[in-house]
Structure 1
Amino acid sequence: MSRGLGVLRGVVILVGGAVALWVSIGVTLNLTIARLQPAPSASWWPVGVTAKVTRGRELLTTAAQQPVTDIDPVRASLRDAALREPVNTQALGTLAALDELRNNTRRARALFRASETVSRRNVLTQFWLIEDAVARGDVAEAIKHYNRAMLVSSEARMTLLPVLAQASSDPAIRKELLPLLAKRPLWWKDYLQQLGTSGADPTAMALALAATRTDIRNPDERGLAQAILRRMVALKDGRGALRAANRLERVPGSTRSIREGDFETADGLVPFAWWMRDEDSIRAFRDTVPDGGMGLRIETSSGASGGVAQQLIGLAAGRYIMQGRAGDVSTDQTARPTINVTCETGKPLSRFSLPSAGPNGRSFRFAFDVPATDCALQWVTIVTAPAVDTNMWLDNLTATR
């Protein structure tokens, strides 16, 4: 069995057995009074299915904690009731689970398949069919039942999505999963959210973004994409994250210079667009500048200082010129903000102190080198000076060879 199938099978192992899992995630039918009082209900309506399904589920719950000896009479009673209501998927599913408890897998499989034929909304049935497909090494069948379970149950999604996100590192799983994601099933956004929170394979994350055709013009989808990109960077695949960001923004090539350096828009993908700090005593925000356009306004007070705006770029090795325009910069050199360029690994490339400038601003430029190794991505960070109040602006920031 492949590692991916082993992870898929973890949907059962996670809670210590199939029966325990089925019960714990609340897949039982929302029954009427028979659900709460099966014994009186059986005496009031001895041929009814509801009470007998409930009794069967109670037995399954008990079996999750200790051996049971009265399976046969409960099963026989439920079988008789199911024969009277052969389209009752809950009866068929519970009957199948009892057969599984009796180690009759072949008959359990037949009954679970019959239960699914009646209704795909029976989550107990879908969970068993997942486990059965995994046990037989049938990835396509397992993914099919993952999909069906998550389409009909939010509780199932809570259990299955973390497992599926982990299993997607296996190429055999992705082969079946990606075409399904391309159809954008109801749970596709939940899946991307899971990847952005706990995904472990950057390749799987990038492929999921591509398969779902994530539209960054939509604020919700842009947020999902940004979470995945940040996760990829945290997992040390910044280059893969950069390529994914370029595809999403339809930027050609596998390098990336400063985006939105004119600060006119805020449509990029963090961390490959500007992250701006926003606190009471230190903040960066888009604002009008003297030339009439938009620029970056930086304000600090009460001695607050530190990184106030940041962007991740991906320049190829070589020598570059960074230039821009700044205004309202102090004449005191120790009170001036700096633009710091570092490799993603933390290696410093440049620390440039902005020149003093009046309200109308002045241009600046400085050079820095990107090494050929261990510096695939670079951070551009604007840092304010310590222990002084700042109220300055920055605009037209570019980095070119």
Structure 2
Amino acid sequence: MTPEIGALGRAEAGALSRAALRQDPTAVSAAATLGVVTLAQNDIANARRLFSYAQMLSRRNITTQLWSIEDAVGRGDVGGALRWYDITLRTKPDMSDVLYPVLAQASRDPSIRGALVRKLANNPPWSNSFVGYAAAQKDDPQNTAALFSALQVHGVAIPSTAQTSLVNLLLSIGNFDQAWRYYAAIRPGATRARVRDPRFTAMIETPSAFDWATLSDNSIAASIQRTRDGGTFEFSAPASIGGPVLQQVQLLPPGSYRLSGHSDGIAQDARALPYWTLICRGDERELGRVVVPNSARAGGMFVGTLVVPTDCPVQTLSLFARASDAIGGTSGQIDRITLSPAGQATH
């Protein structure tokens, strides 16, 4: 039975199905096929009776399952439709290719989203798979954020990869406020007015753009390492090679900010010293630069001021390792970095 089959083909399918059921009343495929034929004849009552009979015989027939979903949707029975989604995805996981797009789109309706959240809170076997699918969709990340937030309220764990994907996607389309709201929900205590994880203790496996991101390539090595006192950022680059090694996206309100921190192992000529810079993401303007002096100076402490203008809502704080002529190249560690409104205490 396909949409292209005409009346003659449907009549033949109906006759074969009736013959099969006379020989074997438990022939679920025959009952389901006869239900489709009857439905095509607009005999809704008998079609429903036949599909109900097929449901009684088996919960594994895909025709019956899909009709049951459509029938529940047609009657406005959200709970019934989701119950059949659940049954179908449990017995036929490969039907996710057909059902996930419809389910994701339907979840834009708050009433359907609420029912879906309650269903996923029961941890069906397809829960993680659907969450991963939803996180990868780029057409409506705002809806995905609302769905994920509701799931977290109901105690449903969202994989860190899905969380990171959603935050970065919202940022990429310019939805900065919703990206931050969702990030703040998954990183309790995060604030827009300060750098996050100032002592590199979080050790996040899949960091988002609002977390520290190390930047490595075939030449430059950069990593966050756990230490006895918490954590530290380490970098190294061969002679004559430089570039960004660490960054974190900021949503700093306009104003002056004090950047300070502590380094170890940095020993370079003045023109090869690493530096922190704040770049406006909209037009790549440099909003300020703070050079990290040699660690032997001032006990490794460094401090400077950065100014955020009113026309730059999103910034990137980056550490740059400058190319060095030294035989051993350049290397060092940063074990503390703070960025907070000027005049406020840092910690």
Q: Distance in 1 between matches of 2:259 and 2:188?
A: 24
* Equivalent residue number for residue 391 of structure 1: 331
Q: Distance in 2 between matches of 1:383 and 1:215?
A: 42
* Equivalent residue number for residue 56 of structure 1: none
Q: Distance in 2 between matches of 1:117 and 1:237?
A: 48
Cα distance, 1:306 vs. partner? Answer: 2.7
Q: Are residue 211 (structure 1) and residue 150 (structure 2) matched?
A: yes
Q: Which amino acid is the alignment partner of residue 221 of structure 1?
A: P
Change (3 A) 1:390 1:144: same
* Equivalent residue number for residue 301 of structure 2: 363
Q: Are residue 160 (structure 1) and residue 104 (structure 2) matched?
A: no
Q: Are residue 274 (structure 1) and residue 212 (structure 2) matched?
A: yes
* Equivalent residue number for residue 194 of structure 1: 133
Q: Distance in 1 between matches of 2:26 and 2:194?
A: 62
Cα distance, 1:360 vs. partner? Answer: 9.7
Q: Distance in 1 between matches of 2:299 and 2:230?
A: 13
Q: Distance in 2 between matches of 1:285 and 1:139?
A: 49
Q: Which amino acid is the alignment partner of residue 147 of structure 1?
A: D
Cα distance, 1:367 vs. partner? Answer: 1.5
Q: Which amino acid is the alignment partner of residue 134 of structure 2?
A: L
Q: Which amino acid is the alignment partner of residue 284 of structure 1?
A: A
Alignment size in residue pairs: 336
SS of the aligned residue for 1:262 comes to coil
Cα distance, 1:285 vs. partner? Answer: 1.0
Query: When the two structures are superposed, what TM-score results if normalisation uses the length of structure 1?
Result: 0.71
**1:228-250 CA distance string (max 9 Å, x none):** 22222223223222222222233
Q: Is 2:261–2:336's contact at 8 Å kept on the other side of the alignment?
A: yes
SS of the aligned residue for 1:155 comes to helix
Cα distance, 1:133 vs. partner? Answer: 4.1
Change (3 A) 1:70 1:361: same
CA RMSD after TM alignment: 3.4
Q: Which amino acid is the alignment partner of residue 121 of structure 1?
A: R
* Equivalent residue number for residue 344 of structure 2: none
Q: Identical aligned pairs, as a percentage?
A: 25
Decide which of 268, 279, 296 is 2:233's aligned counterpart.
Answer: 296
Change (3 A) 1:120 1:229: farther
Change (3 A) 1:235 1:69: same
Q: Are residue 129 (structure 1) and residue 41 (structure 2) matched?
A: no
Query: When the two structures are superposed, what TM-score results if normalisation uses the length of structure 2?
Result: 0.81
Q: Distance in 1 between matches of 2:3 and 2:277?
A: 59
Change (3 A) 1:188 1:361: farther
**1:273-298 CA distance string (max 9 Å, x none):** 21112333112112478x97631111
Q: Distance in 2 between matches of 1:282 and 1:133?
A: 58
| Superposition pairs of residues 83-122 of structure 1, within 5 angstroms | 83=22, 85-122=24-61
Q: Distance in 2 between matches of 1:341 and 1:124?
A: 58
Change (3 A) 1:250 1:136: same
Q: Is 2:213–2:248's contact at 8 Å kept on the other side of the alignment?
A: yes
SS of the aligned residue for 1:297 comes to strand
Q: Are residue 337 (structure 1) and residue 277 (structure 2) matched?
A: no
* Equivalent residue number for residue 249 of structure 1: 187
Change (3 A) 1:132 1:223: same
Q: Is 2:287–2:308's contact at 8 Å kept on the other side of the alignment?
A: yes
Q: Which amino acid is the alignment partner of residue 219 of structure 2?
A: S
Q: Are residue 324 (structure 1) and residue 297 (structure 2) matched?
A: no
Change (3 A) 1:361 1:158: farther
Q: Distance in 2 between matches of 1:84 and 1:373?
A: 78
Q: Is 1:214–1:222's contact at 8 Å kept on the other side of the alignment?
A: no
Mind listing any 5+ residue stretches in structure 1 that lack a counterpart? 1-59
Q: Are residue 82 (structure 1) and residue 21 (structure 2) matched?
A: yes
SS of the aligned residue for 2:271 comes to helix
Q: Distance in 1 between matches of 2:153 and 2:280?
A: 29
Q: Are residue 307 (structure 1) and residue 247 (structure 2) matched?
A: no
Q: Which amino acid is the alignment partner of residue 293 of structure 2?
A: P
Q: Distance in 2 between matches of 1:189 and 1:214?
A: 16
Cα distance, 1:370 vs. partner? Answer: 3.3
Q: Which amino acid is the alignment partner of residue 378 of structure 1?
A: Q
Q: Is 1:195–1:228's contact at 8 Å kept on the other side of the alignment?
A: no
Cα distance, 1:323 vs. partner? Answer: 0.7
* Equivalent residue number for residue 345 of structure 2: none
Q: Distance in 2 between matches of 1:381 and 1:137?
A: 52
